Amino acid sequence: MNDFIKDFPALESGEYIYFDNAATTQRPRCVTQAIEEFYRTKNANPLRGLYEWSINATQAYEDAREKVAQLIGAAGASQIVFTRNATESINLVARTYGEENVGRGDEIAVCASEHHSNILPWQMLAEKKGAKLVWLEVAPDGSIPESEYSKIGEKTAIVAVAQVSNVLGQPKPVKKICEIAHKYGAVTVIDAAQSVPHMKVDVAELDADFLAFSGHKVLGPMGIGVLYGKKNLLLEMPPFLRGGEMIEYVTRESATWAELPHKFEAGTVNAADAAGLAAAIDYVRSVGYDFIEAQDKKLTTLLMNEMSEIPHIEIYGSQNPDEHCGIVTFNVEGCHPHDVSSILDTDRICVRAGHHCAQPLMQSMGVPMGSTCRASLYFYNTEEEVHLFCKKLAGVREELGYGS
Amino acid sequence: MDLKQMYREIVNEHNLHPSHKHDTENPSVVLRGVNPSCGDDILLQLKIEDGVITDGSYIGSGCAISQASADMMLDLVIGQSEEDAKKLADIFLRMIKGEATEEEIETLDEAAALENVSKMPARVKCAQLGWRTLNEAIDSKNNES
């Protein structure tokens, strides 16, 4: 037990060991309360009404935007676009900036360890515009070998990379990647879905052009995500979706667009979940990234040490627990990950099994059947949970018919 | 039967020591079945003579449930007419959806042990793979001839 558990209704009973935090985190009570409060006290369509409820709804929505801007070090809240999730954020960039600026023969550099959400939009763009995808390969520990960076050059229009891999947990040197990209006039699209929950992310320090993350992976509600963009880029980009509240003026023939960021937020916005995300950000800041990083290191070290004592377990990625951001991907020899996860589920242990939406990485890792198990931790997990998990994991092979 | 029991009593044996995981000589029909999201992959081989499945086997890889289910299926359908094999497939596929009667389920012999997979939506496709491939294999052969 720790002091955080009482804030998380789903964890309070202590009956479940939730080790699938890279898929989605649990939500503290303050987040669901903020959503409930929004609907109870200011439920009106934001950005439109001229009466108190609507004004308050707008305020809650814009306060959330301000909180996000502060969290990631954006110069202004107008550079924060709310989306549904990181996937939508990246698609937005591909469909607007990408389609306007990428042409035949241009190159889009994508890291081989990316989540499908940072691959498929670029595949689509490359196909549409006759551009070429160039893969930055990764070493078995998840790092990008120095020689791979020479693939970024004069033809590169976009460099798309996750700050932290959702499979290997290895942080990438995003600042350096942005420097290299900028040397050749390319823009960077940083998938920060796995980094924002675990480390202080500062878009100014990284000099990232675009950065995306999902609220639900950082204690917030599902259905609200963030796109950060540099102002000059966002200003030049055409709208993504068209409709209500993203316009300045509409005639029968044409329209002009609202100011940033509303140009990119067509239709009624998800203000209630934005309020939930704001509460999540407050909670994360109260815990503090120093504590989160220390807890990641402590628990991941314990987990990797205990797992390495269990026979027939292979852990992927770096041998150094400090380079995992709480994500430990593994296989049990001879056992399909889905069977492993099903057996652990009977002990109320939640781990992910499968390709983790990173099939190209699974292919280059050459894992059996393109599939792995993944335990991913967050600061509210405990040493007791790690012990119990390892104890149960040690018994899985026997449950699946192998002699112990 | 709880899940661990299902593995221990039925699935593990058929997964680790299958009776039918090998090639069939001169098969009349060979069909690949895959579950792309799990990586389950089988190559079903059937020898069908005068409308009767006289021999059959599979090779492949995947989770224990997919492999064991294919093995148990072959236990059941070898020696059956195509028509009866398709009837069994129909019962099995309905059992996995929770739609078969107890009487019907009894006809599935050992494969009936997979009934509880109907409560595990993520594993339904694994259990179905062999049977779906069997259905398609019989249909594809009959469409050819």
Nearest CA in chain A to B123: A338
Residues A213 and A67 in one domain: yes
Res. A1: pLDDT tops 70:
no
Q: Is the pLDDT of residue A77 over 60?
A: yes
Domain count of the fold of chain A = 2
Mark whether A373 is an active-site residue: no
CATH of the domain at A347: 3.90.1150.10
C-alpha distances in Å from residue B38, one per residue of A14, A364, A371 = 30, 17, 7
Task: For tokens 């049990």, name the residue.
Answer: A332
Residue B38, pLDDT score: 77
Inform me whether the C-beta atom of residue B61 falls under 8 Å from chain A C-beta atoms: yes
* CATH of region B3-144, choose from 3.90.1170.50, 3.30.70.270, 3.30.160.340, 3.90.1010.10: 3.90.1010.10
Q: Would the pLDDT of A232 be above 60?
A: yes
pLDDT tens digits, A348-367: 999 999 989 999 998 888 88
Contact call for B39 and A370, based on CB within 8 A: yes
Q: Does A335 touch chain B (CB under 8 A)?
A: yes
Q: A4-40: per-residue pLDDT in tens?
A: 999 999 999 999 999 999 999 999 999 999 999 999 9
CB B54 within 8 A of CB B74: no
**Residues A243 and A261 grouped into a single domain:** yes
Nearest CA in chain A to B65: A339
| Residue B133 forms contact with A (CB below 8 Å) | no
pLDDT of res. A2: 82
The alpha-carbon gap from B80 to the nearest alpha carbon of chain A, in Å, equals 30
Task: Tell me the C-alpha distance between B49 and B81, whole Å.
Answer: 9
Same domain, A38 and A185: yes
Q: Does one domain contain both A160 and A248? A: yes
Which of A244, A269, A285 terminates a domain? The answer is A285
Q: What is the mean pLDDT of residues A383-397?
A: 98
Q: Is A219 in the same domain as A147?
A: yes
Give the one of B3, B16, B61 whose C-beta lies nearest to A346's C-beta.
B3
Q: Does residue A94 sit in the same domain as residue A204?
A: yes
**Is the CB of A338 less than 8 angstroms away from the CB of B126?**
yes
Q: What is the mean pLDDT of residues A185-189?
A: 98
Nearest 5°: the CA angle B49, B53, B54 is 75
Mutate to test the interface with A, among B2, B63, B71, B126 (most CBs of A within 10 A): B63
Q: pTM above the 0.90 mark? A: yes
Chain B residues closer than 8 Å to A345 by CB: 3
User: A369 vs B15: CB contact, 8 Å cut-off?
Assistant: no
Here the ipTM equals 0.91
pLDDT score, position A188 = 98
User: What does the DSSP assignment read for B71-106?
Assistant: HHHHHHHTTSBHHHHHHHHHHHHHHHTT---HHHHH
pLDDT of residue B145: 62
Residue A404 pLDDT greater than 60, yes or no: no
Strands B40-49 and A132-136: unpaired
Whether A355 and chain B come into contact, CB under 8 Å, resolves to yes
Say how far apart CA A258 and CA A138 lie, in whole Å: 41
Tens-digit pLDDT profile for residues B19-78: 999 999 999 999 999 988 778 899 999 999 999 999 999 999 999 999 999 999 999 999
